[in-house]
Amino acid sequence: MAKNKKPHRGKGVTRREFMTNVSAGAVAVAAAGTLGAKDAEATAVIKPEDMVTIDLQINQRRHRLLVEPRWSLLFVIREKLGLTATKFGCERGECGSCTVLVNDVPLYACMMLAMEAQDLKITTLEGLMQGEALGPVQKAFLEQDAYQCGYCTSGQIMAAEGLLRKQPHPSIEEIQTGVSGNLCRCGAYPHIFKAIAQAAKAR
């Protein structure tokens, strides 16, 4: 009778495994093609409780934080720094509600580890404020009624801000492409496009 074997999970590479030092964590495969139990146990893995110190530059302020290597930038922004304008959505890079600017480029905060964002210039919705006043894109969204439930709005605004920093005078096609990675389930796209066009003129 065949010996009992532990079922293979088949989950692929995890975030934790991604952070592992490849040279120190190489797994020896036996000649018969089976993974040796001792080799698997010896694989170097960064444990969740092993905290590391990182420096994040967010909204022109520097923050020194102790984080777990597996924490996403989204989690750190919201739960550790209290910048709650950046929203949890799908958490798999599909909806765009967590969009922030990284070196002026719109990116999904749920798809970036906090450790990867060290020493990069990060801007959240709070960083677009001019003191207590709304920034041009925020004001345009308000005046054009470019939202309904509002959950996607912060991500839409950050995508629009990133577009206008790259292309100050976008065409309607460029506007549509610029926010194509941000889903509005309420269907407020016509108002969103008008808001971005208005913000372009205001800037």
User: Residue 97 sits in a domain of what CATH number?
Assistant: 3.10.20.30
pTM higher than 0.85, yes or no? no
Q: Is residue 69 part of a domain?
A: yes
The structural domain count of the chain equals 1
Q: Is residue 20 part of a domain?
A: no
Q: Is residue 62 part of a domain?
A: yes
The pLDDT score that the predictor gives to residue 45 is 67
Is residue 67 within 8 A of residue 118, CB to CB? The reply is no
Q: Is residue 14 part of a domain?
A: no
Q: Is residue 44 part of a domain?
A: no
For residue range 1-60, list pLDDT tens digits in order: 444 444 444 445 444 554 444 344 444 434 444 444 445 555 556 676 689 999 999 999
Q: Which residue range forms the structural domain that includes residue 66?
A: 52-202
Q: Is residue 46 part of a domain?
A: no
Is residue 37 within 8 A of residue 63, CB to CB? The reply is no
For residue range 150-186, list pLDDT tens digits in order: 999 999 999 999 999 999 999 999 999 999 999 999 9
Q: Is residue 16 part of a domain?
A: no
Q: CA 11: distance to chain centroid? A: 22
The pLDDT score that the predictor gives to residue 27 is 40
> What average pLDDT does range 76-99 have in this prediction?
97
Q: Is residue 13 part of a domain?
A: no
